[in-house]
Amino acid sequence: MSYKRILLKLSGEALMGNKKFGIDNERLAQYATEIKDAADAGCQIAIVIGGGNIFRGIQAEKGGMDRVQGDYMGMLATVINSMALQSALESLGVETRLQSAIKMEQICEPFIRRKAVRHLEKNRVVIFGAGTGNPYFTTDTAATLRAIEIEADVILKGTRVDGIYTADPEKDKTATKYETISFTEVYEKGLEVMDMTAFTLCKENKLPIIVFDMNQKGNLKKLLGGAKIGTLVEVEHPVS
Ligand code: GTP
């Protein structure tokens, strides 16, 4: 196992599968199976999931809604996805705990870092809902913040592309994939890995990022087993 403790960031949109809105049960079950396999292999797993399949704060703002209001609605959407994932994992017999950055004690635990770490030590999958609990921050930033707080070895960003490319592979057929890339290179080349707040937080706290295709069956477990999957954004070590 190359990583003992990971923070897995999943996108809300990915949960839609081929649907236009909401949660696709097949995709949800697939993700739960992948996560179970990784947990069974001995990895401590924390998860942050987005909410874009249900509500997007930024788009709501374009439609005239107050940004802060929209962001809070987006945070609630992440809790809905987190609850769905928790159920799917539990139906496979995986022990889970859901912690929310916004208190809703009838539904889940509040976010308490020390408790989250204890849960991980007991091999429970910990899902963090409601982003950072603050407007103007993305779930990528929430994932990064939580990863640093729980001292995860790496943040795994599951996407629908299999890594970071020289250009958008869905638009430019000549684009090639990086196996590894440094934080500085990502920045200098203007590649989109995460939003700047999240990216800078990773860089400053020396938290490596792996971008990989979560929809490819078995990828998560293979990656944790040391296979070269996706793109690794490496922490730079000063030349001595
Ligand atoms: P340890 O005792 O440390 O092993 O952890 P534990 O999570 O089993 O203990 P705890 O007694 O805190 O939790 C028991 C169950 O209650 C777990 O399913 C928790 O997720 C749940 N739980 C704990 N705190 C809260 C809360 O504030 N709200 C909700 N809804 N559930 C909670």
- Examine residue 240 and state whether it is found in any structural domain, yes or no: no
DSSP state of 150: T
104 lines ligand 1 (CB under 6 A): no
- Examine residue 197 and state whether it is found in any structural domain, yes or no: yes
Q: How confident is the model at residue 52 (pLDDT cuts 50, 70, 90)?
A: very high
Residue 64 burial (CB count, 10 A): 7
The fraction of the chain above a pLDDT of 70, given in percent, is: 98
**48-57, 151-160, 185-194, 231-240, range with the lowest pLDDT:** 231-240
Q: How far is the CA of 174 from the centre of ligand 1 (A)?
A: 51
- Examine residue 10 and state whether it is found in any structural domain, yes or no: yes
Instruction: Give Dmax over CA atoms of the chain in angstroms.
Output: 53
The pLDDT of residue 204:
96
188 lines ligand 1 (CB under 6 A): no
The pLDDT of residue 238:
61
Mean pLDDT of the 40-60 span: 93
Q: Provide the domain count of the chain.
A: 1
Mean pLDDT of the 153-165 span: 94
103 lines ligand 1 (CB under 6 A): no
Q: pLDDT of 165-209, one tens digit each?
A: 998 888 898 999 999 999 999 999 999 899 999 999 999 999 999
Q: How confident is the model at residue 215 (pLDDT cuts 50, 70, 90)?
A: very high
Rounded to 10 deg, the angle between the 25-40 and 67-91 helix axes is: 60
Mean pLDDT of the 159-169 span: 90
118 lines ligand 1 (CB under 6 A): yes
Q: pLDDT of 85-104, one tens digit each?
A: 999 999 999 999 999 999 99
105 lines ligand 1 (CB under 6 A): yes
Q: Is pLDDT above 70 for 6?
A: yes
- Examine residue 239 and state whether it is found in any structural domain, yes or no: no
The pLDDT of residue 231:
97
Provide the 3-class DSSP secondary structure of residue 83.
helix
- CATH number of the domain that residue 103 is part of: 3.40.1160.10
Spatial neighbors of 111 by CB under 8 A, at least 6 apart, are 99, 100, 101, 128, 130, 133
Q: How far is the CA of 32 from the centre of ligand 1 (A)?
A: 21
- The residue segments making up the domain with residue 142 are 5-234
Q: Mind spelling out the 3-state secondary structure of 152-219? A: CCEEEEEECCCCCECCCCCCCCCCCECCEEEHHHHHHCCCCCCCHHHHHHHHHCCCCEEEEECCCCCH
30, two tokens: 């697939």
d(CA 202, CA 205): 5
The fraction of the chain above a pLDDT of 90, given in percent, is: 89
62 Ramachandran zone, left/alpha/beta (phi>0; psi -120 to 50): alpha
Q: How far is the CA of 99 from the centre of ligand 1 (A)?
A: 10
Residue having the nearest C-alpha atom to atom 6 of ligand 1:
119
- Examine residue 153 and state whether it is found in any structural domain, yes or no: yes
Q: Is pLDDT above 60 for 240?
A: no
